[in-house]
Amino acid sequence: NAGVTQTPKFQVLKTGQSMTLQCAQDMNHNSMYWYRQDPGMGLRLIYYSASEGTTDKGEVPNGYNVSRLNKREFSLRLESAAPSQTSVYFCASKPSWSTDTQYFGPGTRLTVL
């Protein structure tokens, strides 16, 4: 099992450009999450999907959209990137029957110039 995979690993954008961060998990998990991590801060939840077909806002959703394409894939889209969105983005997943462990991907380091 690959676990949680994210693409790309690194990306540089110019202000105003758009892009989609991809996340996939092969563990048959129902719940998936997008976080951002900024220096000196913990992870902050952007959006999550408790099951296929549902999405909900987290703590910092402004400037982002998400799509739960199917049970495996959960993408994060920046429609018009801003320097404030420079961050490391992590995707995670969790079985719905558990309130325990979230499984994290390796992250995408995004720089917006």
Partner 1 sequence: SQQGEEDPQALSIQEGENATMNCSYKTSINNLQWYRQNSGRGLVHLILIRSNEREKHSGRLRVTLDTSKKSSSLLITASRAADTASYFCATLFGNEKLTFGTGTRLTIIP
b/e map of 77-109 (b: 16 or more CB within 10 Å)?
ebeebeeebbbbbbbbbbeeeeeeebbbbebbe
Shortest distance in whole angstroms from residue 60 CB to partner 1: 10
Maximum pairwise Cα distance, the chain: 41
Instruction: Identify the bridge partners of residue 110 per DSSP, sorted by sequence position.
Output: 11, 87
Part of the chain binding partner 1 (CB under 8 A), chosen from 20-28, 36-44, 61-69, 76-84: 36-44
- Residues 79-98 interacting with partner 1 (rule: CB under 8 A): 90, 92
Cβ–Cβ < 8 Å for 68, 53: yes
Counting contacts by CB under 8 A, is residue 102 touching partner 1? yes
By CB under 8 A, name the one of 44, 65, 67, 75 that touches partner 1. Answer: 44
For the chain, give the number of residues.
Answer: 113
Instruction: Return the number of the residue (31 or 85) whose C-beta is nearest partner 1.
Output: 31
For partner 1, the binding residues (CB under 8 A) are 4, 31, 33, 35, 40-45, 48, 50, 56, 58-59, 90, 92, 99-107
